[in-house]
Amino acid sequence: MIIDSIYYQSLLTDRIKNAPRSFIREILKTAISPDVISFAGGLPNSKLFPVSDFQKATNKAYEKYGVSLFQYSNTEGFLPLREWISKRYFEKNGWKIDSKNILITNGSQQGLDLLGKILINEKDEVLIEQPGYLGAIQSLAVQGARFISVPMDDEGVNLDIFELKYFQSNSKLFYCVPAFQNPTGVLYSSEKIVQLSDIIRDRNMIVVEDTPYNDISFTQHAIPSFYNHIPDQTIILGSFSKTTVPGMRIGWIVAPDVLMDRLIVAKQAADLHTDISSQMIIYEYLTMGGNDKHIQHICDVYSSQCNAMVKAINEFFPEEVRFVVPKGGMFLWINMPKSVSSLKLFHDTLAQKVAFVPGVPFYADGRNDASTMRLNFSCSDKETIREGIQRMGSVLEKMLNQE
């Protein structure tokens, strides 16, 4: 019997049929050539990975834990690592988070998946930033979420629109990235966090606060958090992917007891537990004492690369282009004249051996095009950034002159 694709399509669930593909993963396939200058990825700079320190940590873990590195483990995660995260929160933020309220996950992306499984029913409404993190859009869409988008301004989501949409909808979740948001790079103001917390407090809503970039700060600005104001209604997603190494896929969720119990059940159903050897190795690395110095080095390098991109944009992009200079993170968000198609610009600049991410996939409203784009500066040196931006600027000028 020959089974054709139509047969298999008939077997798929509605939620996976309707789930969007990872737009960036598809773009990276076209930009994989080594002669392409890529501002498309959201990757940390692999040249900065602490390889030698991880070699030492790995050897130490093998000596210390032996066969335990290869055995099944508990679902919650390696206790010393959870205790380290708990201590870190107290030292940096003054938060008293018990280790039992921390669940180790396969990256923060799995955290999103688990939260969707325990909190989202088909067609449940979720408030989300616009533009927003496409990994969250993809993950929650698989669970059947219906997105209620709230536009961003320079200090976070627009407060008036958030309040209006909150009271007009039945949203039970607000997903956000308050620090150096992906894709805009925006850092929420403390005032905005306070105002949003006042709206949400004691109402039927949970804030899912994703924090992968919190430590990648170029200034001494305080990092605001909903946890400071409504801790009982805040779930935190954390990750070592952007500041340590992404390949080990170690992240975590901070959640209250009642939700943690259900998250553990969902985690058990998904994969029993996160790779224990990676947890042990990362823990040994973290306790070696060089992590803060490593993070500071990342911040210094990324800040320099960000400044190089800002300088090049000011020199080579048309004056009509608008953007906010980020205070941290890995991205610049570009607003172009409404007449510019970011999808057409992508194909035209790719012909000039430069890649970026068009703004389209960061909108959960189903639009087909946008006049925005995301540029990543973490993986290119200053000379490459200047050359790539110059090529993009030439293409942009031609597009505007043809109007």
Is residue 62 a part of any domain in this protein?
no
Q: What does the mean pLDDT of the chain come to?
A: 93
Is the residue at 387 inside a domain? yes
Q: Are 347 and 260 members of one domain? A: no
Phi, psi of 229 (to 5 degrees): -120, -40
SS3 33: coil
Least confident residue range of 38-47, 146-155, 249-258, 377-386: 38-47
**Region 174-194: what's the mean pLDDT?**
98
Q: Where do the DSSP E strands lie in 109-172? A: 125-130, 146-153, 156-157
Which among 363, 336, 364, 362 is positioned nearest to 349, based on CA atoms? 336
Q: What is the pLDDT of residue 251?
A: 98
212-216, 371-375, 399-403: segment of lowest average pLDDT: 399-403
Residue 26 has pLDDT above 80, yes or no: no
Lowest average pLDDT, out of 13-27, 30-44, 45-59, goes to: 13-27
| Mean pLDDT, residues 293-302 | 98
Q: 218 and 85 in one domain?
A: yes
- What pLDDT does 30 receive? 62
Domain boundary among 286, 303, 327: 286
Distance CA 112, CA 136 (A): 7
Q: What is the pLDDT of residues 236-253, one digit of tens each?
A: 999 999 999 999 999 999
Domain membership flag for residue 58:
no
Is residue 69 included in any domain, yes or no? no
Task: Indicate whether 186 and 78 sit together in one domain.
Answer: yes
* Same domain, residue pair 139 and 216: yes
**Of 295, 294, 140, 154, residue with least CA distance to 212:** 295
Note the pLDDT of residue 300.
98
Is the previous residue joined to 337 through a cis bond, with omega within 30 degrees of 0?
A: no
C-alpha distances in angstroms, 39 versus 356, 375, 393? Answer: 5, 5, 14
The CATH number of whichever domain residue 267 belongs to comes to 3.40.640.10
The answer to whether residue 61 sits within a structural domain is: no
**What mean pLDDT comes out for the span 14-27?**
68
Is there a domain that residue 270 lies in? yes
Mean pLDDT of 104-118: 96
CA distance 329 to 218: 8
> Do 102 and 244 fall into the same domain?
yes
Residue 57 lies in a domain: no
Q: Indicate which CATH number applies to the domain containing 347.
A: 3.90.1150.10
Helix (H/G/I), strand (E/B), else coil: 234: strand
* List of residues 6+ apart from 77 with CB closer than 8 A: 102, 103, 104, 252, 273, 274, 279
Closest by CA to 80, choosing from 294, 287, 289, is 287
158 with 265, same domain: the answer is yes
Mark which of 256, 286, 316 sits at the end of a domain: 286
* 111 shares a domain with 210: yes
Percent of the chain with pLDDT over 70: 94
pLDDT at 96: 97
Domain's final residue, options 286, 313, 334:
286
Burial class (CB in 10 A: 0-12, 13-18, 19+), 383: exposed
Do 230 and 129 lie in a common domain? yes
Q: What is the C-alpha separation between 383 and 126, in angstroms, rounded? A: 42
Q: Report how many domains make up the chain.
A: 2
Closest CA to 394 of 313, 332, 320, 317: 317
**Do both 223 and 300 map to the same domain?**
no
Q: Prior bond to 361 cis, omega within 30?
A: no
| CA–CA separation, 291 and 271 (whole Å) | 29
Say yes or no: 158 and 252 in one domain: yes
- Torsions phi, psi for 95 (to 5 deg): -85, 135
Range of the domain at 180: 74-286
pLDDT of residue 119: 96
Query: Which ranges in 201-336 belong to alpha helices (H)?
Result: 257-271, 276-286, 291-316
- The string of pLDDT tens digits covering residues 61-102 is 999 999 999 999 999 999 999 999 999 999 999 999 999 999
Question: How far are the Cα atoms of 228, 298, 301 from residue 216, in angstroms, in the given order?
Answer: 20, 7, 10
Question: Does residue 59 form part of some domain?
Answer: no
Task: Note whether 281 and 303 are same-domain residues.
Answer: no
278 & 309 share domain: no
Per-residue pLDDT for 117 more than 70? Answer: yes
